[in-house]
Each structure stands twice: as C-alpha cells, then as structure tokens.
Structure 1
Amino acid sequence: MTSTTPISGGEAVVRSLIVNGIDTVFGLPGIQLDHFFNALHDHGNEVRVVNARHEQGTAYMAFGWAQSTGRIGAYAVVPGPGILNTTAALSTAYGCSAPVLAFTGQIPSDAIGRGLGMLHEIPDQLGILERLTKHAARIDHPSEAPRAVAEAFRQLRSGRPRPVALEVPMDVLAMKAPVGDPILGAPDPAPTLDPDQIEAAAKLLGQAAQPMIFVGGGAYGATPEIRELAAMLQAPVVSYQNGRGIVDERTPYALNHSSGNEYWGDCDAALAIGCRMQIERTFWGLDDSVKVIHVDLDPTEINRVARPAIGIVADAGDAARALLDALPAHNRRRESRADELAALRARHHDKAVSAVGPQMAFLGALRRALPDDGFFVDEFTQVAYVARIGFPVYAPRTMVTPGYQGTLGYGYATSLGVQAANPDKAVLSVSGDGGFMFTASEIASAVHHKLPVVAVVFADGAYGNVLRMQKELHDGRVIGSRFTNPDFVKLAEAYGADGRRAETPEALEIAVREAFAARRPTVIEVPVGEMPEPWPVIRPAPSKPKRTE
C-alpha cells in the first residue's frame, strides 16, 4: 500500500530501519545527512542516536554491538571522507562475519560521477563500498527506500552474515514523494541438509578414537548442540579468537589453542563448525590420519583452506542437531576423558606461565576482577595476544576480537558499542598504549553517553611487537616504533572520566573491581616494560604429522 501523504527520503529510510528492528544508530550528522537525522529526531522515542567524536568510532561501536549480541549494528556517516574513515571497521566486520549496516549520504544525484568537485565527492563511492561489503546499493528516489532497505536486511540475515551498505544522495533524502509501507527484510531459507552427508559424518565421528571439535563465530547459534556433541563424543572443543566461550572454558572439554595443538597430534576426526580452521590446518600440520568434516553456511568456505573429507553447507544449528540425532547409532562406547583433558590444560597453563609470566599474571588479575558474564574486548597488544590462550572465556560472545583482520586501534571504540548493547553488564577493554590512542578521543563519548567501560591501557611507550621484530629480526633497525605518551590518568580526568594507575597485577585487580563497582567510564594505566615474546606459546610447533620423540 502506498501512502498518499508524501514523505521525505530520510523519513522513508528511518521508517524502514525501525520496521527491521533497528533501535540504535551510531552516527555523526552532516549536511548530506540532514534529512535523515531530522527523521531520526522525529522518531526519538523509537531510535536512540549514539554519536561519537570520529567516524571510525561510530563504525567500531556498531561492530561491537553486532559482535556482542548477534544483532544488526547500524551506523550513519557523511559520504566521502566520512565513510572512508569507517573502512577499517567495515573490513573488520567483513573479516569477522558481523552483521553491520553502513548508511551514508551522497552528493546531489545530478552531480554523481561528473567530477565537479562537490563537497565530499570521491570517485565511485558505491564501488568502494561494494568491495568492502556483502551488498551495497544506492537509493535514487524516496519510493525505492522500503524495497532497498528490505533487501539490505535480507542480505544481512541470509547466508553468511557480513556488512552491507546503503547510500542516498542528499537531494533524495530531502525529496518528498508518496512511499509504500516499510518492508521486513526476511531471511532466505537455510540450505537443506543432505541426510547422506549427515549419516556419513556421524559414522566417521562415531568410529573415531580421538575426535575434536573446532568452532568459530559461525557456531554461536549452535552452542547447546555443540556442548552436547562434545559430551557424546568425549571430544574437546577448540577455538582461537572468535567462537570462544561456546563451551565454558572452566570445563575440561574446552581446550585453548596450545593444548589443542598437542591433542591434534593423535586426532583422527575433526568437526569444524562455523570456522575457517585456517590456523590449525596451516600451522598445526595436516596428514591422512585425520578426516575433517567441515560445516559452514558459506559454500565457498568449505574447500578454501583444504578439501575436507565431508563438506556440509548448512546452518550450524541445523547441522549440529542432525548430527546429534544420527550419532548414537554409530558412536563407540567412550570413557570419560575429563581427567585427561584437565591434566592437559593444566600442563599447558604451567608452560604459559613459565614462558609469558608477566602477561599471564595480568590476565589472571583481569579474569578474577571481571564478572563471569562480563565482556572482554581485546586489542593487538602483548597482554591481549596471550589472552588467546591465557584468558578463560565462560560464555559465547563475551570475548570480542577483530579476528584475522588484526585491526590495531579498534578495541576501545568497539567496547563502547558492546556496552551500549549490554548496559547492565561489565565491559573490559584491554589495549596497549599504541592502539588505545587511535580512538582515545572516544573517552568523551563514554562520558557523554554514560557508558561505564573500564579501559586498561598497558603502557610501554612503543608498538611492542614491531619494536621486538626490529631488534631481533632486522639487526636492531629501530625506527618509528617508539612514541611519547600522555599521562593517561590525567587524560581520562580531563574528559570527565575516572583515571587510575596500577603497577602490579594485584593492584590492577583491585583497581578494576573498584571501577566496575563505581559504574563510571574509567581508564587504568599500567606502566610496563618489554614483555616476553608470546608467539611461541600462541603458535606452537606442528604436532601433525605426528612427531617421533
């Protein structure tokens, strides 16, 4: 049905966003988005606008919202330099398969592609967005908004979730026209399971002597089924960055990456669900002794790293439930491996403490201070690197990472999006001084929006990993890796946040606990020196083909 009362293009877009479940938009207004923000203002009781101090902050916040909830995170920025400032966050969302909607304006429609030098004009903005997203489109008339927005949400909700983008010329946002009712962007049906593949996979897993399960971000929706499969097979569950906490890492059946590598040496069947399994098959070794069953919603992922024994294109939950039904007919009698796995975990914990003791001590303090259901947002820094194997995660989605994109500087702004999406939960951001300064201005946003994130900044005055490589791999050619820091306590206080300093793990634990109790934005500076290299612990030597002692 078409409304007889003309409405603006901005109003048409906002109505469609609301129908599709968007209740929060992270954004920065500007002239090309005036009529979009006017519509957001008029729908103030239905959509919250969370602004930031830089466009990259809005996009990282939307990413944090999406990763911590599984719901669509939306952000809006002006075109040209505005949308370009968000591309690191877009690439991170793409790499992590996060459902993020990027909305941007455009120059006037009659000037697009003419090179007139209009404000914020860049060559082929839509083409740039098409290369960073799963789907990108332009709305050329208000009447197109319902269908175009619905298609964007269909893309977000169908198949492998990845970011999408919409752009609207500024004159179209201002134009008034009759517009049809908003349309719900319903997801496409999930792929139909092949019962023969499920039966073959159940038989392979059931007959295996030492099966393993590997999970990534695509497996969050199958958490109960994966836990049941692990118990049925007495199989440990391994994840690297995304996918952590699908199995509570206090239990024996969750192995971190270093202990998982050792167990892999005798593995004869591996079930990979919603993950690329790239690190394991690339760095742990792969031979004919292990048969891989790869379950993924993205058909292009099945054979990307290596061809599996069985490739199943399916929703993770559908496939896991089908395997649970089929497995009992084939599963061998299995004794509990809980004690064996607990001993393996303990041995590798001790190895980590021996190799990277300072990082492990700080991580232990942070884990004790963070409530069980709190969120840990990492960064590319020495302590957070070790968190991949040294920080136990208790529930799915409570550890947020940039995945393989490795986006230095993403962490603090992302943590604000996590907090906005989870207002009653504790959120801990762990950064180095280098990465933190990328979005440190968002302390102002945390204060303005009363987002009580606790940010721990390990300060060594250097891009530590780069500095180590320059010294050890490049004959001491130290260049561009050291810098001068502000006083982070005073910086936080200047923005109106709480500032603290802690120099030991014990002091850090107390400071974090007190900050969470205060429920105020807080920055805790931790002065540190150079730390032991983490990579031999995080990326151990291959265990397959099985080494002879």
Structure 2
Amino acid sequence: MQLSVSLGAVLPRLLKSYGVEIVFGIPGIHTVELYRGLTDSGIRHITPRHEQGAGFMADGYARASGKPGVCFIISGPGMTNIVTAMGQAYGDSVPMLVISTVNEHGRMGSGDGWLHELPNQSGLVDGVAAFSRTLHTTGELAPALAQAFAVFDSARPRPVHIEIPIDVLLAEVADAEPAAPMRLARPAPNPAALDRAADLLAGARAPVILAGGGARDARIGELAERLDAPVIMTTNGRGLVPSGHPLGVSLSATYPATRSLIADADVVLAVGTELGPTDYDMFEDGGFALPGTLIRIDLDPLQITRWIAPALGLVGDAALAVDGLLERLGPTGRTDGADRAARANAGAAELPEMARRDLSILAAVRETLPDARIAGDSTQLVYSGNAAFAMDRPASYFNSATGYGTLGYGLPSAIGAKLADDRPVIALSGDGGLQFCLGELASAVEAGAPVILLLHDNDGYGEIKSYMQARNIRPIGVDIVTPDLATIAAASGWQVVKPSVETFTDDLLESSRRDGPTMLIFTDAFREGWPA
C-alpha cells in the first residue's frame, strides 16, 4: 500500500532535488504544513524578524552563491512585507523563489474578511516577479517549480512567486522520492552574430567594454587583454577586472572622465548591463552618450533594445558569448588601452573630498580583508563606493543604492551572503537605514552569521538632509530620534567597537576572527579625520 502525505510535506523534498540548501521564512498559521516536511529534508531554515528581511537575506544569498534564494511566506501581510525585497531583486536581476500560501478555494478573494485575505495576492506581486502563479491542484506544483528554475537557469534571473491555496497545500499526494529534475542550460548567442561582433571588435580603433552584473561568470579580463580595451564596470560589475588591473575602470560613467573614454570609442561592447541611468547617468544630466558602434550581449532580448538601441545585439549567456568571442579573436596589436583606462580613472581625483575619504576607507577594508564581500545599504559610504570603488573579485560588491534603491537592505543581505560560504562579509549601513531592520541584529546571532557591520551614525538621514539643503529646502523629517544602537546591538549578542582612524584596520581584522557578529560604529568626525 502506497503511503500518502500532504503536498506541503512533499514540497521541501522537491526543493532539495533542485539543490536548495537554505529557506528563509517566518512560520505562520497558513504555512505550518510546509514545515512538516522541512525537518527531514536536509534544508536549513533561517528565521528573520520581518519578511522584508527574509527577502533581503535571500537576495544576498543568491548574489553570493549564484543559486536562487528561497523564501516561505505567509499569505496577506507576509506578501506585502516581502514585496519591497522582491522589487530590489527584480531591479538587479537576482534569482529569488517566493513560495507563499493563499486562502483556500471558496475564500480566496471573496472579500469576506478571512484571515490574511487580500483581493488579489498574485496581482500584487506580478510587477516584481518574472511570473506569479497560483496552484489550483496538487499536480501543478512540479511544473511550477520546473518553470521557476527554468527562469533561474536560462533566462534573465528575477523573482518568481508561487502561491498555494491552503486546501491544496493540505491535499494528500503519493509519498515518493522526487526524481532528479530536468535543468536547462544557458542559451548561447547566434554564431553568425558572434562572427559579426568579432569582426567589428577586431577592426576597432579604440574599443571599450561596459560590463555589468550579468557578466559575473564571463572571462571579461581575458577579453579585455585580447582587445586591449578598457573595461568600465557598473556597481554590480565591480571586480570583473580586479583592482589595479591596467585596463580596469571603476569610475562610474556618470562622471566626465569615463564619459570621455566612452565618447572616444569607435566600438563599445556592453556585456550583461542594462545601461541603466543609475549606473550611467546618476545625476540625470543627460550627458551620457554612445556615439560609437554599440554591441550588446544580454540574456533578455527586450533589454537589448531598451534605452540605447545597438547596432548589433547578441541574445544569450554572457559567459558563453565572451567564450565565443575569444575563440574568434586574435591579438589586435593595439597598445594604448592602459593609457586610456588610466586617464579615465584619474577622474576620481575630481570627486568631492569626502567621497575620496570614503573611497580610502573602503580601500582599507579591501586591503585588510581581501577575500571579503561588501553588501551595502543606501548610505553615504556606499554612494562614494558606487562612484569609483574597485574590487578584486566579481559578485563581491553589491548594494541597494542603484536601480530600485531601497533602505534596510545592507544588514540582512550581508547575513544571506555570509550563509553562502565562509568568506568575510561586510555590511555598510547608516543609522537611518539600520532602523528599517533592527530586528535582524538578533537574526544574525541566531543564524550564526558573523558579519561585520560598518555603521555610519550621523543621527538621521544625513544624505537626504544635505540634498534638501542644497536645494534651499528647510530640512524636515530627517533629524530623527536615533536610539542607542550600540546598546541594542550588544543586547542582541553583538560585539560593539568604536574604532579610531588609527585602530580601524586592526579592529576590522580582529572582527573577522570572531565567531559572532561585530558592529563597528563611526561618525562624521571619523570620516573627516580619515586621509583623502
């Protein structure tokens, strides 16, 4: 006689068959059936203190591991809470699987006021997901998961939402071990298009590469050396060419020196980048232009045609595309790429003095902990880093200050990244942003995630205050009551350190050796005292 169990009990085993190792979620009355099968699945469960934190942790985990972050979310408020995190992941093309419940058939969308009822939960998240699907029968679960992982494997990776009505979650199914799922390979670009791209690049006088987060697995450095082409890296592309590489350009294309480099290029190869305004025109001055021949490589055919239409578009995986170009390209004989890159990087000297101090602080972090990842909130140190900071490895510098641009991201995303592997993880946050996610201080301790939080405490929303003052607007709502964050962190189990300029690197190194999380608090006076 074949035994049967609930669909909720089977679901964790299905996830395990796809290689899922961690699930982020807060158990609720509508999701407890999912936890019946979680215990024996081998999947680790991490409990944040807010569903937004669950989404941000999943985001950080996905960026660090290259695997989708998975969340179990209750219906109603659980879904409204996680929408912001899904929006950030959607904007940055981060794979995230959100599995939620919804009221049972007959109650779903009835308007009768059942617990956690929303009129159209799937419709709520449709704009921040590759797709949102409601399962009406038990037989739809396996195909829905297959479709989700098809997106993660071979399309532009973005959040996917699967919602399961409570009656379907409780329905009995055969208790059998899931078969190994079929996985899709990344699509390769058209060979004829690769031939044409290689011809254009081989004949270029002054080629330039624009590289974004979508190129994280591509051999960008090798291609740059073959072409003698400077590589301008977006925020999410930092580290594709390591700091100090003669062809690497980390000064944002928002700034004149980098724009001049692009304007002088006769052929521009854009790899895995949206060419979005927050990377190329942060101040919205309209000064970014691409007069040369543009070649775009992207998994998303729609993205290739957005904002700036290319002369040639290659739809496919960035790593496969770059491999194909390397197979077709020989030495070009050009030798001026390093000089062109150096002239662009020299533009960082024109940044405001405080930004240069911030970049020096970040450089000290990189040099002290060269294997670290840096996950940032929308905060001043991050804004400076996005302007010109260089990293040594891809997928090691990311934050919420581009694209969707949320607050409260830094700490929970760092926790997720730390759970991916043993590399040190630094979170960058301000006191205002941290107050969006204070509860996640306890989550880090509970999860055994010894992250290091560099907290800039300036008693409020300092960046917005400066922005208002620069526009002759009397600051309102930015000078907020800030609790004693050091005491809150210590009460949550954190080590708290207030470094001086002289002790900072030693304190940072010591923090990396601790078994638990550490908060390093610095103020405006610390930044002003740091050498530019």
Match of 2:390 among 392, 404, 409: 392
Native 8 Å contact 1:143 1:180 kept in 2: no
CA RMSD of aligned residues (A): 2.2
- Please report how far the alpha carbon of residue 11 of structure 1 lies from its aligned counterpart in structure 2 after TM superposition: 1.6
| TM-score normalised according to structure 1 size | 0.89
Residue matched to 1:490: 487
Match of 1:322 among 320, 324, 340: 324
Q: Distance in 2 between matches of 1:29 and 1:315?
A: 37
Residue matched to 1:229: 223
Residue matched to 1:465: 463
2:197 paired with 1:239: no
Q: Distance in 1 between matches of 2:105 and 2:525?
A: 55
Percent of residue pairs bearing the same amino acid type: 31
- Please report how far the alpha carbon of residue 157 of structure 1 lies from its aligned counterpart in structure 2 after TM superposition: 1.8
Residues 316-362 of structure 1: per-residue CA shift (max 9 Å, x gap): 1221112112222xx642125435534653x3343347463432343
Residue matched to 1:306: 308
- Three-state SS of the structure 1 residue aligned to 2:24 is strand
Change (3 A) 1:361 1:315: closer
Q: Distance in 1 between matches of 2:89 and 2:412?
A: 14
Q: Distance in 1 between matches of 2:403 and 2:244?
A: 25
- Three-state SS of the structure 2 residue aligned to 1:334 is coil
Residue matched to 1:11: 9
Change (3 A) 1:405 1:530: farther
Residues 199-231 of structure 1: per-residue CA shift (max 9 Å, x gap): 221121112121111111111121x2x211100
Report the AA paired with residue 110 of structure 2. Answer: R
Native 8 Å contact 2:73 2:100 kept in 1: yes
Residues 518-537 of structure 1: per-residue CA shift (max 9 Å, x gap): 232111111226989xxxxx
Report the AA paired with residue 467 of structure 2. Answer: M
| TM-score normalised according to structure 2 size | 0.92
Residues 238-265 of structure 1: per-residue CA shift (max 9 Å, x gap): 1121111111122111101245334223
Native 8 Å contact 1:272 1:295 kept in 2: yes
Q: Distance in 1 between matches of 2:260 and 2:517?
A: 41
- Please report how far the alpha carbon of residue 108 of structure 1 lies from its aligned counterpart in structure 2 after TM superposition: 2.2
Residue matched to 1:101: 97
Change (3 A) 1:183 1:159: farther
Native 8 Å contact 2:24 2:57 kept in 1: yes
Residue matched to 2:350: 351
Change (3 A) 1:267 1:135: same
- Please report how far the alpha carbon of residue 309 of structure 1 lies from its aligned counterpart in structure 2 after TM superposition: 1.2
Q: Distance in 2 between matches of 1:391 and 1:195?
A: 36
Report the AA paired with residue 335 of structure 1. Answer: T
Residues 72-99 of structure 1: per-residue CA shift (max 9 Å, x gap): 1101111100111011110111111111
Change (3 A) 1:281 1:415: closer
Native 8 Å contact 2:211 2:237 kept in 1: yes
- Please report how far the alpha carbon of residue 367 of structure 1 lies from its aligned counterpart in structure 2 after TM superposition: 2.6
Change (3 A) 1:348 1:415: same
- Please report how far the alpha carbon of residue 302 of structure 1 lies from its aligned counterpart in structure 2 after TM superposition: 1.0
Change (3 A) 1:190 1:414: closer
Native 8 Å contact 1:461 1:485 kept in 2: yes
Structure 1, 94-103 or 312-321: larger mean CA deviation: 312-321
Q: Distance in 1 between matches of 2:322 and 2:419?
A: 32
2:440 paired with 1:421: no
Residue matched to 1:480: 477
- Please report how far the alpha carbon of residue 396 of structure 1 lies from its aligned counterpart in structure 2 after TM superposition: 0.8
Residues 96-153 of structure 1: per-residue CA shift (max 9 Å, x gap): 1111000111122221121111110011111222222002212233343222222222
- Three-state SS of the structure 2 residue aligned to 1:363 is helix
Aligned length, in residue pairs: 518
Match of 1:499 among 496, 517, 529: 496
Q: Distance in 1 between matches of 2:90 and 2:181?
A: 20
Report the AA paired with residue 28 of structure 2. Answer: G
Report the AA paired with residue 111 of structure 1. Answer: R
Q: Report 1:11-410 matches (<5 A).
A: 11-43=9-41, 46-178=42-174, 182=178, 186-188=182-184, 190-191=186-187, 193-222=189-218, 224=219, 226-256=220-250, 257=252, 258=255, 259-279=257-277, 283-286=286-289, 288=291, 290-328=292-330, 332-335=332-335, 337-338=337-338, 341-342=341-342, 344-345=344-345, 347-352=346-351, 354=353, 356-369=355-368, 371-402=369-400, 403-410=402-409
Q: Distance in 2 between matches of 1:332 and 1:515?
A: 47
Report the AA paired with residue 500 of structure 1. Answer: V
- Three-state SS of the structure 2 residue aligned to 1:161 is coil
- Three-state SS of the structure 1 residue aligned to 2:133 is strand
Native 8 Å contact 1:366 1:508 kept in 2: no
Structure 1 portions without partners, runs of 5+: 533-549
- Please report how far the alpha carbon of residue 184 of structure 1 lies from its aligned counterpart in structure 2 after TM superposition: 5.0
